[in-house]
Structure 1
Amino acid sequence: MDSFDVKGSGGCPVMHGGATERKTDVTSWWPNALNLDILAQHDTKTNPLGEEFNYREEVKSLDFDGVKKDLHALMTDSQDWWPADWGHYGGLFIRLSWHAAGTYRIQDGRGGGGTGDQRFAPLNSWPDNGNLDKARRLLWPIKRKYGNKLSWADLLVLAGTVAYESMGLKTYGFAYGRPDIWHPSKDVNWGSEQEFLADAANRYEDITEANTLADPLAAVHMGLIYVNPEGVNGNPDPALTAQHVRTTFARMAMNDEETVALTAGGHTVGKAHGNGDGSKQGPEPEGAPIEEQGFGWQMKGARGIGKDAVTSGLEGAWTTEPTKWDNGYFDLLLNYEWELKKSPAGAWQWEPVDLPEEKKPVDAEDPSKRHNPIMTDADMGLKVDPIYREISEKFYNDPEYFSEVFARAWFKLTHRDMGPNIRYIGPDAPKEDLIWQDPVPAGSTSYDVDAVKAAIRGAGLSGPEMIATAWDSARTFRSSDNRGGANGARIRLEPHKGWAGNEPERLQKVLNALAPIASQHGASIADVIVLAGNVALEDALKAGGHDIEVPFAPGRGDSTQEQTDGDSFEYLEPLADGFRNWMKGQYAAAPEELLLDRAQLLGLTAPEMTVLVGGMRALNANHGGSGKGVMTDRPGALTNDFFVNLTDMAYRWEPTGENSYDIIDRKTGATKWTASRVDLVFGSNSILRAYSEVYAQDDNAGKFARDFVAAWTKVMNADRFDLEA
């Protein structure tokens, strides 16, 4: 048999390394090229289950009791190839679930456990996720058994919840319904660093001021979920670490009480692993040789499993009984003095001074031995930070309250990106409305829609005013965590109604006209806002020569101010909206990149983004009535003029300032229109130009109108989870 040379390329009949090495692509040749990949990710072609498969329907037939029974049995079914500490896998599975869900950040709603993304790079190879590949392999027999009825995304989160139950915690509940993705997410900005655990100062204006952490990041190092367990940049300083803990947890939507509860509850069970020489550890899964079959961090020349495993480098348990849910964490933290020491692997950790022998946890494999418990720098932060200390003492003195707060915080951590509880599936899903779920009361569907449309037409509002209001109400939707959108009509509440992007004066004028109509006809204001946009769109379609009725589904409700968590909604404020050609300020990202970000959060494809921008320009719906990009002599009519004129070589384009261009008639030299970068990118980017040319064709004016209506309706209904199949 001929030898196989994986390094050589001579005589190879295909492009050697094309599928395994760093490839030269468009952005490698031209780094400033606009990369549209985030609008094409998770295409149905990558899903092996096919286009017709609907996980949210499939999971409803899952044997829910059987899954939990199997998971409970697995907790104490220790395997020789990866033995359980003290015979219980609870700590490992809790860390698995936590690190799947804990990547969520409130800034953009991205990350989290809702997609099963932890199976793929870079998350499967993050240093902070060391040896979680073993946890996923332990779960594989259960995934194999229940197949398509149980997604990896649900299983990864459920495992930790069942682990807590098996160790004595009364959990708050669990909801199924997280569909899997089939390749890594491309839309999450994990940071600009090119190496794991790079200097944390790269992420801060001032590392001693935790709140200067760059947006939208929520971890102090590339490759960590939260903070460095040894201290900021590996330097122990509990007071400074506490400051960083507060910032990172706040960016994951947690307040101080929830932060203390989660930190303590996460460290009430299980242990850290650093009882060995980290230099003998092999590469992470993505860098491991093919024979490792997706395993990483294998120890070479050392046992490397059980009590000898190396993961974080810290070594030891936090509590006396690490497989039992109790209040022992606060007992040890608050009632004993602690000193800095080094683990066998050389990591900084805190250990108690003069701790009674009976308070020490037994060895994970040999119950005849006992070892000091440990605390991380973050744990010590709970003791030295005055606010955290007060909360810790409250939890210590009221164990039942601690258990209740933790159970609710754990549920929030693991469900934050699922959206409202209407999306919850399964017998253990709690029915209580929680403010972080952004509750929306049910709306009426029994009113006369045609009568409301007639009243809207008589309200004295212009088409652009109604289009802009409907769009602004709906554009806050984030597919990343299913927040925002038109349902609830929060555009009329704080903080939404004061946002600069919503043009408060125009908004109030429209609301004053529409609210009486809603009241008179028994419709929600949310419905009437969307319906008004549809009315204006239908009139614009007729003006453009198209007789198309815009689909409308009644049933939106109106949320109250009390049902609106103003602090968390601040993160939904649009700072730019390319669809309405507006930016609140100047940013490091180019306007067209901000447009892509908004389009991806809205769940749009590149063609949908294209048709919406061109249509919104024709509708004259720019922020503040700006004429930029309104490249038509018929503003207000829905036409494909934007694309026709953008691609017409009768004009040339000339920059006149930052993000400002004149479109000049080549023959006369007169400025015909003005435009922004967001407008001109649809002619300069080769992919977007290809879409623009489709809509500019003489035979596609009708297609343009139909596609615009479909994309508009998609945005208006993005948060209508009650309409899901």
Structure 2
Amino acid sequence: MDAKLKEANSGMGGCPVMHGSMTETGNSNTSWWPKALNLDILHQHDTKSNPLGEDFDYREELKKLDVAALKEDLKALMTDSQEWWPADWGHYGGLMIRLSWHSAGSYRLADGRGGGGSGNIRFAPLNSWPDNVSLDKARRLLWPLKKKYGNAVSWADLILLAGTMAYESMGLKTFGFSFGREDIWHPEKDVYWGAEKEWLAPSDNRYEDVAKPDTMENPLAAVQMGLIYVNPEGVNGVSDPLKTAAQVRETFARMAMNDEETAALTVGGHTVGKAHGAGDPGTLSAEPEADDITSQGLGWVNPNQNGKAANAITSGIEGAWTTNPTVFDDGYLELLFGYEWELTKSPAGATQWQPVGIKEEHMPVDASDPSKRVMPMMTDADMAMKMDPAYRAICEKFMADPAYFRDTFARAWFKLTHRDLGPQVRYIGPDAPKEVLIWQDPVPAGEKNYDIGGLKSAIAASGLSVSELVSTAWDSARTYRGSDMRGGANGARIRLAPQKDWEGNEPARLAKVLSVLEPLATAFGASVADTIVLAGNVGIEMAADAAGYELSVPFEPGRGDATDEMTDAASFASLEPIHDGFRNWVKKDYVVSPEELLLDRAQLMGLTGPEMTVLLGGMRVLGTNHGGTKHGVFTDQEGALTNDFFVTLTDMAYTWKPTGKNTYDICDRKTGEKVYTATRADLVFGSNSILRAYAEVYAQDDSFDRFVNDFVAAWVKVMNADRFDIA
């Protein structure tokens, strides 16, 4: 044997695994091509990563949960201080509230991503954000209860319930709690948290003008990388409560909160617990994802804590906000408005505020030593509640009516922890409130017993085209976001403001179609929502018939019609489409490419790669392009449900020539004659190796039946995405 070959086979040549290939340093063979479209976002929660298996049904498991026992165990946990992580004043309430808050508080309204609905705070990057220092300890304190109750309660539910029970244990009457959040099992690597490459980079990077908070980059809500909301020391760490107030207002609005809810959450959140900055943050070990293997998933290890809660270091700000930090009372507002405040520094060097001439009896006792009293503090965000005129007026109202404040806070806390759980029909458990709230996007129950066949016949005879029928149904349903279970066809909000006027919905065409469908809905006793979806099905059946294929698209009746009074028009503005690759439309040129926008929309709709592919190919030949453009309509049988899009796309008889930033000519290879036109959202299905593999399946001579059946299945999935009332 050759000596070199012998050495290699003996293992003496070195480790057989390429250095870094199993870590994030070398996490992808495709990193050679950084601009290649990455489809991982469509399959980021593949069932293969779920240790509970495909057949696990969390909602069924919840039926086994002894809710009363779990709540009592959580309340007992609050005062069961552990030596390895001692509780402030012997009460973990503040820590558990912060865990719940920071889990839920990553939610942003723009795309519905973030939030506490999946237990994502267990994984990077959230588990290692600078704003989440020590929350790894809170999760470990909850582990004995997760171990005890097992799969009957998810981490996502347990984390949010812990904060709610903390408030109850400290005297607040909460608004309620719903179970039903299913855990994910690996990091959401594809959620965009910002472009910064360092923690807490200056917030200027997120704004066109940092002095104008509404210029923050969408879909972001937090002001700096690694923060949940705003910098508590001020804009870029420079104290100015009025400037901070402006950032607070914009940030909380992007997290679905109005001024009153924002003030209530600030006051109620800081009524209990404390901030920790008793020493040098530089002494802490690395964050959980970066710490040594011996830390076993913990991070920010403090070598100087010495078993004392008062020695903990988290934000660097030090102190409690109130005199009685383990009691939900009116102390926050009494101190904030009862004293003048001046700037000072914490032991860790953070900027904070302290009261001038405070009485000793108003000072909280030390978190570890009840024999001494210490100075309370306020952050720049707290001072904003006093100095900003709008926030001040709200706080004065709270002071004048403490019962109103408690109710407002309880409702705001409930909204914070339930905003991404979806509509009320998804709520589970004995404490789920019955009151219907407008931010739950309520929809009344619809009629199921009407002449569906007769209505279909009337729609088919209405004179509306395949394109008009299918486009209207699609536009009604495409707003659905699996990120927070908002949008969708149920409710027929496409006929209400603001959706009826959205450019992406082609208001003139929409008005024409609705003028035909609404009278038919009334005549047959159906909801408009059902009629719109049924009309789309009829259009597909007509298109299949034109292709010589007999087809019946499955239909599930029972959608209801929402009213203007049931619609929070302001929050629905965030659902407006600014692009729709399925209808080959972008509102304007964006930094992000059309194919990336398509991918993002497909993921929000809950589509897989093959589903995205077959839907787009089918929509093209049905002639549903926005404005009637012919880009990507690779067929001579427009309006017939054929696989021509894929046949043409994969045919080597053509060449592809750019004619603009997002337009292309498809030319005959021999003659050079233009045959079709296309956009990037069309051609990516031929250029991307994974999408081309899907396209080739649907282009095969033996795949027409597969194409039609897969298209219909994906269509029905989109139409029923928001039907939480059906199995």
For normalisation by structure 2, the TM-score amounts to 0.98
Q: What does 1:483-522 align with in structure 2 at a 5 Å threshold?
A: 483-522=486-525
Give, in angstroms, the shift of residue 548 of structure 1. 2.3
- Aligned partners of 1:399 and 1:511: how far apart in 2? 49
The answer to whether the aligner puts 1:666 opposite 2:659 as a matched pair is no
One of 355, 360, 371 as aligned partner of 2:374? 371
Q: CA deviation at 1:670?
A: 1.4
Structure 1 counterpart of 2:357: 354
The reply on whether 1:289 has 2:295 as its aligned counterpart is no
Match of 2:59 in 1: 56
2:170 and 2:24 map into 1 onto residues whose CA distance is 45
Q: Contact 2:157 / 2:180 at 8 angstroms: preserved in 1?
A: yes
Distance 1:221 1:304, change over 3 A: farther
- Determine the structure 2 residue equivalent to 1:68: 71
* Match runs of 1:294-305 below 5 Å: 294-300=297-303, 303=306, 305=308
Once residues 696 and 322 of structure 2 are traced to their aligned partners in structure 1, the CA distance between those partners, rounded to angstroms, is: 66
Counterpart CA distance in 1 for 2:654 and 2:490 is: 42
Select which of 686, 690, 702 maps to 1:687.
690
Tell me what 2:47 maps to: 44
Are the counterparts in 2 of residues 36 and 596 from structure 1 also a CA contact under 8 Å? yes
Measure how far apart 1:27 and its partner are.
4.7
User: CA–CA distance in 2 between the matches of 1:9 and 1:188?
Assistant: 43
1:19 matched to 2:19? The reply is: no
Q: Deviations over 1:610-645 (max 9, x none)?
A: 000000001111111111100011111111100000
Among residues 547, 550, 553, which one is paired with 1:547 in the alignment?
A: 550
Q: Which residue of 2 aligns with 1:155?
A: 158
Q: After superposition, where does 1:28-43 map in structure 2 within 5 Å?
A: 28-43=31-46
AA of the residue aligned to 2:280: D
Number of the residue aligned with 1:605: 608
Q: Call closer, same or farther: CA 1:627–1:533 in 2, change over 3 Å.
A: same
Q: CA deviation at 1:305?
A: 4.7
Question: Is the 8 Å Cα contact of residues 84 and 307 (structure 2) preserved in structure 1?
Answer: no
- Looking at structure 1, the residues matched to 45 and 398 of structure 2 have their Cα atoms a distance apart, in angstroms, of 43
Q: Give the match for residue 622 of structure 1.
A: 625
* Counterpart residue identity of residue 432, structure 1: E
Matched, 1:267 2:270: yes
The partner residue of 1:527 within 501, 520, 530 is 530
Match of 1:126 in 2: 129
Instruction: Determine the C-alpha separation between the residues in 2 that align with 1:520 and 1:62.
Output: 47
Distance 1:432 1:10, change over 3 A: farther
Match of 1:581 among 541, 562, 584: 584
Q: Distance in 2 between matches of 1:160 and 1:374?
A: 23
Q: Which residue of 2 aligns with 1:337?
A: 340
Q: Contact (CA 8 Å) 1:96, 1:160: kept in 2 or not?
A: yes
- Whole-Å separation in 1 of the counterparts to 2:13 and 2:564: 69
- Equivalences, count: 717
Partner of 1:470: 473
User: 283, 290, 293: which one pairs with 1:280?
Assistant: 283
Indicate yes or no: 2:225 matched with 1:222. Answer: yes
**8 Å contact from structure 2 (residues 89, 368) kept in 1:** yes
Deviations 1:283-329 (A, max 9, x none): 00000000000010002355375110100001100000000001110
Distance 1:10 1:101 in 2: 51
Per the alignment, residue 120 of structure 2 pairs with: 117
Q: Please state how far the C-alpha of 1:278 moved relative to its aligned partner.
A: 1.3
Partner SS, residue 702 of structure 2: helix
Name which of 232, 236, 239 aligns with 1:236: 239
- The Cα shift of 1:348 comes to 0.7
What amino acid is the match of 1:662? Answer: D
Aligned to 2:198: 195
Q: What is the match of residue 4 of structure 1?
A: none
Q: CA separation of 1:270/1:10 partners in 2, compared to 1, >3 Å: closer, same or farther?
A: farther
What residue number does 2:390 align with?
387
Where does residue 312 of structure 1 map in the other structure?
315
How much does 1:669 deviate?
2.0
CA distance in 2 between counterparts of 1:543 and 1:22 reads: 53
Match of 1:96 in 2: 99
Amino acid at match of 1:615: G
C-alpha separation in 1, matches of 2:19 and 2:669: 49
Cα distance change, pair 194–454 in 1 and its aligned pair in 2 (3 A): same
2:75–2:165 Cα contact (<8 Å) kept = yes
Q: What residue number does 1:453 align with?
A: 456
Match of 1:698, SS state, is coil
Q: Work out the CA distance in 1 between the residues paired with 2:153 and 2:281.
A: 36
Equivalent of 1:413 in 413, 416, 419: 416
Q: Read off the aligned partner of 1:357 and give its amino acid letter.
A: E
Q: Secondary structure at the match of 2:665?
A: strand
Measure how far apart 1:722 and its partner are.
0.5
3-state SS of the aligned residue for 1:349? strand
Q: Could you list the runs of 5+ residues in structure 2 that have no partner in the other structure?
A: 1-10
Q: State the one-letter code of the partner of 2:309.
A: G
User: How far apart are residue 667 of structure 1 and its match?
Assistant: 2.2
Q: Is the 8 A contact 1:640 1:704 kept in 2?
A: yes
What one-letter code is carried by the residue in structure 2 that aligns with 1:634? Answer: Q
Question: What is the percentage of aligned positions where both structures have the same residue?
Answer: 69
Cα distance in structure 2, aligned partners of 1:553 and 1:314: 55
Does the residue aligned with 1:339 lie in a helix, a strand or coil?
strand
SS state of the match for residue 26, structure 2?
coil
Render the CA deviation track for 1:152-210: whole Å, top value 9, x for unaligned: 00001100000000000000000000000000113321000011101111111111111
CA contact (8 A) 1:276 1:304 kept: no
Task: Identify the residue that residue 208 of structure 1 maps to in structure 2.
Answer: 211
- Mapped to 2, the partners of 1:300 and 1:275 lie a distance apart of 13
Q: Give how far 1:335 is off.
A: 1.2
Q: CA RMSD in A?
A: 1.2
Maintained 8 Å contact 1:60/1:425: no
Residue 643 of structure 2 is matched in structure 1 by 640
**Aligned pair partner of 1:396 in 396, 399, 402:** 399
Paired with 2:24 and 2:460, the residues of 1 have a C-alpha distance of 60
Counterpart-to-counterpart distance in 1, 2:213 and 2:543? 50
Match of 1:166? 169
Contact 2:83 2:307 in 1 (8 A): no
Match for 1:439 among 418, 424, 442?
Answer: 442
- Secondary structure of residue in 2 paired with 1:351: strand
* Alpha-carbon distance between aligned partners in 2 of 1:186 and 1:285, rounded to the nearest angstrom: 16
After superposition, the Cα gap between the structure-2 partners of 1:27 and 1:236, relative to the gap in structure 1 and judged at 3 Å, is farther
Q: 1:10: Cα distance to partner?
A: 6.0
Give 1:322's aligned amino acid: P
Matches of 2:124 and 2:80, distance apart in 1? 29
Tell me the CA shift for residue 26 of structure 1. Answer: 4.8
Aligned counterpart, 1:3: none
**TM-score, normalization by structure 1:** 0.98
